[in-house]
């Protein structure tokens, strides 16, 4: 079984994309059909999202196995701890292992709306770092990744606190990191400087989301807490009404971000293309 972490040691930039499984009450075949198109794009890996509390766990495992087996691309499966007891997490990880999924992105996840205060405050794993520790201890053959935040995680008081917590994550076994999406590269470079100062040496893939329609930006910002620089809001104001122009401008913005990151020696680029291989194809053709 190959460890995705090794890809960061080849001296080449690691290119990856994030995809998501369908909701558990939806058919899985249309998603599989779409993901087949990643075969000839051949990213270094695809990461598969996971609903908080394992709401779509079955489909997530099926999609991850499909990518590995039928698309022929290495896979990183996200796993969230927020709604999981120790026993349930262990079951989830065993299922991953049975399906030869041994690269995992350990995430806390966000509190589901249905979770009571008591449930939230007595959860087995408080943070992603606690879950990473559990996985490292019980699944030593797994490769563990973690998330980091160029705009700072919204719950942290300041950057210093967030970076100190990030260090715990890496110390507990996260051997590489994927960043939350960001639109201002200076935020990413600042995070890298703070990481260096804190002695965090894990490679980081920079998270880039191409904004291909104006509506996407609002949802993205609400969900991720990412700040929007004036250059991007100007773009939306100028092209937002015209779908074709907006798509072109959004992809160009992402390409320019990536070119600048490559010039700064980024370890990896992680595209939040969300089941749109055609967007990944266009961006990779111009950057890879
Ligand atoms: P943590 O690392 O636990 O951090 C959360 C907060 O707690 C931060 O403010 C941090 O500073 C603080 N903290 C961390 N460790 C400690 C500690 N030991 N002691 C005290 N404070 C601490 N969500 C999903 O539901 N499904 C997904 O598939 C998914 N994929 C994602 C992929 C990426 C690349 C990213 C960046 C995010 C993803 N998310 C996903 C969203 C993620 O679950 C949320 O951002 C969540 O709010 C934080 O998760 P985390 O793993 O970073 O949490």
pLDDT per residue as tens digits for the range 66-84: 999 999 999 999 999 998 8
Q: pLDDT category, 274, cuts 50, 70, 90? A: confident
Q: pLDDT category, 42, cuts 50, 70, 90? A: very high
Pocket-testing residue among 123, 148, 153, ligand 1, by greatest number of atoms within 8 A of Cβ = 153
67, 44 contact by CB (below 8 A): no
Q: What pLDDT is attached to residue 130?
A: 97
Average of per-residue pLDDT across 174-197: 98
Q: Can you read off the two tokens belonging to residue 11?
A: 């001296």
Q: What pLDDT is attached to residue 160?
A: 97
Q: pLDDT category, 24, cuts 50, 70, 90? A: confident
19, 60 contact by CB (below 8 A): no
Pocket-testing residue among 127, 159, 174, 273, ligand 1, by greatest number of atoms within 8 A of Cβ = 127
Contacts of 133 (CB under 8 A, 6+ apart): 172, 173
231, 254 contact by CB (below 8 A): no
Q: 115 CB less than 6 Å from ligand 1?
A: no
For ligand 1, atom 45, the nearest C-alpha belongs to 109
Q: What pLDDT is attached to residue 1?
A: 62
Q: What pLDDT is attached to residue 133?
A: 97
Percent pLDDT > 90 in the chain is 85
| pLDDT above 80: residue 52 | no
Q: 81 CB less than 6 Å from ligand 1?
A: no
Average of per-residue pLDDT across 206-234: 90
Q: What pLDDT is attached to residue 168?
A: 98
Q: 212 CB less than 6 Å from ligand 1?
A: no
Average of per-residue pLDDT across 28-55: 93
């Amino acid at each position: 079984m190959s460890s995705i972490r090794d890809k960061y040691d080849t001296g080449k930039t690691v290119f990856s994309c994030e995809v998501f499984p369908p909701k558990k009450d939806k058919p899985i075949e249309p998603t599989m059909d779409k993901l087949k198109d990643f075969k000839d794009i051949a990213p270094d890996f695809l990461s598969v999202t996971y609903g908080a509390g394992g709401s779509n766990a079955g489909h997530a495992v099926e999609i991850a196995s499909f990518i590995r087996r039928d698309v022929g691309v290495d896979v990183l499966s996200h796993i969230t701890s927020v709604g999981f007891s120790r026993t349930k997490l262990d079951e989830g990880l065993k299922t991953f292992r049975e399906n030869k999924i041994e690269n995992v992105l350990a995430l806390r996840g966000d509190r589901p709306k249905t979770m009571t205060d008591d449930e939230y405050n007595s959860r087995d794993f408080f943070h992603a770092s606690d879950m990473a520790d559990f996985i490292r201890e019980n699944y030593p053959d797994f490769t563990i990744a973690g998330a980091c935040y160029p705009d700072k995680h919204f719950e942290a008081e300041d950057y210093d606190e967030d970076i100190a917590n990030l260090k715990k994550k890496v110390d507990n076994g996260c051997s590489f990191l994927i960043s939350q999406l960001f639109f201002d590269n200076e935020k990413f470079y600042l995070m890298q400087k703070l990481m260096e100062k804190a002695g965090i040496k894990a490679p980081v893939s920079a998270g880039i989301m191409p904004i291909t329609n104006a509506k996407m930006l609002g949802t993205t910002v609400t969900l991720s807490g990412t700040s929007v620089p004036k250059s991007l809001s100007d773009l939306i104001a100028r092209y937002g009404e015209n779908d074709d122009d907006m798509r072109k401008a959004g992809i160009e913005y992402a390409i320019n971000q990536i070119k600048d990151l490559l010039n700064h020696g980024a370890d990896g680029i992680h595209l939040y293309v969300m089941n749109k291989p055609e967007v990944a194809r266009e961006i990779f053709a111009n950057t890879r």
